[in-house]
Amino acid sequence: MSDAREAEGPGTKADEPSAKAGEAGAEAEEPRRSNETQDDGGRRKYGPLGTTLVIIPTYNEAENIKLIVARVRESVPDAHILVADDNSPDGTGKVADELAAEDDHVKVLHRKGKEGLGAAYLAGFRWGIEHGYGVLVEMDADGSHQPEELPRLLTALKGADLVIGSRWVPGGRIVNWPKSREFISRGGSTYSRLLLDVPIRDMTAGYRAFRKETLEGIGMDEVASQGYCFQIDLAWRAIKAGFHVIEVPVTFIERERGESKMSRDIVTEAAWRVMSWGVGSRVNKVLGRKEPKGSEDPKEPKESKELTESTEPNEPKEPKESTASEESREPKES
């Protein structure tokens, strides 16, 4: 079993006891992964992180992309950035290409069209793994995730498999959000936590840092969810696969420019899928069935596993010459 715990930050304690899913305060024995060893006391000892790739999905973010890239470069100078653009009509992809031409730490993945947040992140994860990055970070383009807080997530990842930037742990907060959005976010996390029986307080958070091995171990090829639901899906898969998850308090600031991609359809999809996952998981337990790694939907197309692991995971390979115009290999949703 895995556990989720809060990392040190304002109002939190780093030595707080870890908790099994559904059992606050219980210690959980976790499996060893390919990048870990054990010290003489039998405690887990993680391997080096490797180079960080910050993945920023974009659709009509021309007003924001220059600023967010500059803030990431200043906050974590050694990190690389991958802008995954869904053929934005406002020219975001062109702006990203200009940034990449001036800075070899910036890469661009041009995708065929708007296919959703989940598909963009999955394409970015695969690209990053193929090119040898050891850490893959999710970050919004609109500035709601503060790049200045990324060092805190990366520090916590030295002792974890997945770190979530959480709004709903002590020290976390939100700025300029209407009460309706806060209700949806808090309610969605509570709903998911109870139905899926996991200890994570901010299940819908989109500011995350993954070790490469974590993404390789959660069944990415089976993920078909999008938006709000995508974040819940990945967190649940990580817990079920026995990975160590930590929540770090962050400040979430509502976007000042551009339009939010949140919609009623996204919330409805999340509520329906989480309900089906929770019920299915309980049925499997009652019947003694072995649960799958995650929560794939057989009705939706799955990605073919085309990327391979780099032979030098801590030394990212230079992208192919066609990177600036590379298209996603993912099928469009039906």
| 253-311 tens-digit pLDDT | 997 765 655 556 666 766 667 677 666 766 677 677 766 655 544 333 333 333 323 33
Residue that the structure tokens 């420019």 belong to: 257
Q: Is 103 exposed, middle or buried (0-12, 13-18, 19+ CB in 10 A)?
A: middle
Residue 113 has pLDDT above 80, yes or no: yes
Residue 68: partners with Cβ closer than 8 Å, 6 or more residues away = 56, 139, 140, 141, 142, 143, 147
Question: Which two tokens mark 278?
Answer: 């929770």
Confidence of residue 87 (pLDDT cuts 50, 70, 90): very high
More confident residue, 14 or 295: 295
Q: For residues 162 and 169, is the Cβ–Cβ distance under 8 A?
A: no
Greatest mean pLDDT among 47-56, 110-119, 247-256, 277-286 lies in: 47-56
> What is the average per-residue pLDDT within 168-196?
87
Segment 138-169, tens digit of pLDDT: 999 999 999 999 999 999 999 999 999 999 99
Q: What is the pLDDT of residue 93?
A: 98
Mean pLDDT rounded to a whole number for the chain:
77
Residue 325 clears pLDDT 70, i.e. is over it: no
CA distance 233 to 185: 15
